[in-house]
Amino acid sequence: MIAEIWNEVIHHPLTGIVGHIGAIVVCILGVMAYYTYAERKVLGAMQRRQGPMTVGPFGLLQPIADGIKLLSKETIIPSQASKAVFLIAPMLTFALALVAWAVIPIDAGLALANINVGILYLFAISSMGVYGIIMAGWASNSKYAFLGGMRSASQMVSYEVSMGLVIVTVLLCTGSLNLEQIIVAHRPWWMQVLLLPMLVVFLVSILAECNRAPFDLPEGESEITGGFMVEYSAMTFALFFLGEYTNMILMSAMTTVLFLGGWLPPFNIEALAVVPGFIWFVLKTFGVMFFFLWSRATFPRYRYDQLMRLGWKIFLPFTLIWVLVVAGTLIYMDALPQ
């Protein structure tokens, strides 16, 4: 029903595709704003403190106050910076985090573009996120910012290799690059168990891909102050901030699509099918988003050599071997998708 209403809205002459895009952007920005509030509350609870509590009831207006504060600040551009690249970098980071949502199916038939190579589109857009950070590090004309940009480039490239191999195993089991087909593809219990180690690798890899603790080395204040963002202020800083949190929500949605069944009820229990599919999608995505916060509150920051060792010496060989294990098991069980 919801998908039918959504399609009517898309094809209505007064709204059309522009209204659809606007609805997606507004929803994502709203979730992102209160994700920052949830992060501060969750970290506060885990560290035995209150978190935001004075701006509005229960501190619920804190994200709005933060936005007004950043809007009111002066944007300072270093005199020796490459001004055009300096300003384009945060815009690119934020824009890439938004355009990836075009192919995410929130419910059956509920996606802006249901393309046949949706997973390749997602992987390509998420991989391009490193460009904004490299541009910011170089354009700032600061050694700290440049070092942060280089750290981010090597970090994201390292873990994208593992993420790519993880996605290959999902494609082997589903036989499709279409995100909706990946969700509805039949996966018996043994196939779910086979993909479980890759889910763990994917969860760790998206932490590194989003530069989140314990892999937030590009912003390591103990070594390189603010990293690639050290010269940014006001709304240019806010765009990086928006891009980071929007990318975290995107990676959570990708995890839901690839491993958690998207809009389908947990374990395909028919009694739970009375709940609308998009509700299940949102709950699963929120669960992965909580994982980002939990890991930040739990683990100390890795050293850079530990980060590289995990990516190249553990995850890469393990995922290569596991691709062979999955392919061999599917052949043995005569379960390769047609």
pLDDT digits (tens, 9 = 90+) for 192-226: 999 999 999 999 999 988 888 788 877 766 676 76
Assess contact for 323 and 172: CB atoms under 8 A.
yes
pLDDT at 168: 93
Mean pLDDT value across residues 118-123 = 88
Please provide the distance, in angstroms rounded to a whole number, between the alpha carbons at the two ends of the chain.
Answer: 31
Backbone angles phi, psi at 269, to 5 degrees: -75, 120
Average pLDDT of every residue of the chain = 86
Q: Residues in the chain, how many?
A: 338
Of the given ranges (91-95, 178-182, 219-223, 332-336), which has the lowest mean pLDDT? 219-223
Assess contact for 258 and 202: CB atoms under 8 A.
yes
pLDDT at 222: 67
DSSP letter for 106, please. Answer: S
Given a cut of 70, whether residue 144 has pLDDT beyond it is: yes
d(CA 56, CA 41): 14
Mean pLDDT value across residues 272-296 = 90
d(CA 327, CA 272): 32
Tokens encoding 217 = 């080395």
d(CA 296, CA 201): 17
d(CA 227, CA 330): 45
pLDDT band at residue 7 using 50, 70 and 90 as cut-offs: low
Give the H or E element holding residue 284: helix 277-298
pLDDT at 10: 52
Tokens encoding 4 = 């039918």
pLDDT band at residue 13 using 50, 70 and 90 as cut-offs: low
d(CA 50, CA 246): 25
Assess contact for 28 and 246: CB atoms under 8 A.
yes
pLDDT band at residue 111 using 50, 70 and 90 as cut-offs: confident
